[in-house]
A and B are shown apart, each in its own frame.
Chain A
Amino acid sequence: SQTIHQWPATLVQPVGSPLSLECTVEGTSNPNLYWYRQAAGRGLQLLFYSVGIGQISSEVPQNLSASRPQDRQFILSSKKLLLSDSGFYLCAWSPRGLQGYEKLFFGSGTQLSVL
């Protein structure tokens, strides 16, 4: 069966520090991968999605970046965090090209607090 791992669960970082959040998917190959941010009381905001290694689409211009160095690994990064980067970050995956499986599966999330 497929599983998605996301870590860390909680992170407290000072303003101006770098960020690296990692997500891996097991039990499938060639998935679509996504990073979302969820602010309190607001919906899910798509940040990045990827259809393959090295292929990243950015939905929101900001100081965050994403990379996909391996087929089932997705990394969210920042060189210098801002206060506004605080939020709940979710990694997700969906099977690609598999009819009947047009759905998203989420990781457990990372609560990021920038102080």
Chain B
Amino acid sequence: QKEVEQDPGPLSVPEGAIVSLNCTYSNSAFQYFMWYRQYSRKGPELLMYTYSSGNKEDGRFTAQVDKSSKYISLFIRDSQPSDSATYLCAMSANGNQFYFGTGTSLTVIP
């Protein structure tokens, strides 16, 4: 079983839609959770960082962590064509080793 599972998509939504991206994990020791956005042929850019459970909001982005279900989500409100990218979830137990999902490809259609 992989440490982190992420649906690869692709996901295609109309502009303005709410997007929900998800990851599940198996290691209950994970306590640091991240979402990255990666444009084609570019390095991943850190979008959201959450410690332990709960929600965190930053503009149009909301990250949720449910440690009891080992499930994390990223919501994008009022999606824009510029949000079209691959989104990677990542997590860590100790801040030294990081485990990544395979990424979800998102296209926002104008």
Contact = CB atoms under 8 A, between A and B. Distances in A.
A43 interface: yes
Interface in A30-81: 32, 34, 41-44, 46, 49, 51
Nearest to A9: B41
A101 to B, nearest CB: 8
Nearest to A42: B102
B92 interface: yes
A92 to B, nearest CB: 8
Given A42-B102, A44-B88, A104 B46 contact: yes
Given A43-B101, A94-B95, A102-B32, A108 B90 contact: no
A103 B34 CA distance: 7
Interface string A97-115: 0001111111111010000
Interface residues of B, number: 24
B100 A102 contact: no
A7 interface: no
B41 A106 contact: no
Contacts of A101: 95
B51 A43 contact: no
Interface in B25-43: 32, 34, 36, 41-43
B41 A109 contact: yes
B44 A106 contact: yes
Interface of A: 6, 32, 34, 41-44, 46, 49, 51, 88, 90, 94, 96, 100-109, 111
21 contacts: A41-B8, A43-B100, A43-B101, A44-B88, A44-B100, A46-B97, A49-B96, A49-B97, A88-B41, A94-B95, A94-B98, A96-B96, A100-B51, A103-B46, A103-B95, A104-B46, A104-B90, A106-B43, A106-B44, A109-B42, A109-B43
Given A42-B102, A103-B32, 6 more contacts: A43-B102, A46-B98, A88-B41, A94-B95, A104-B90, A104-B98
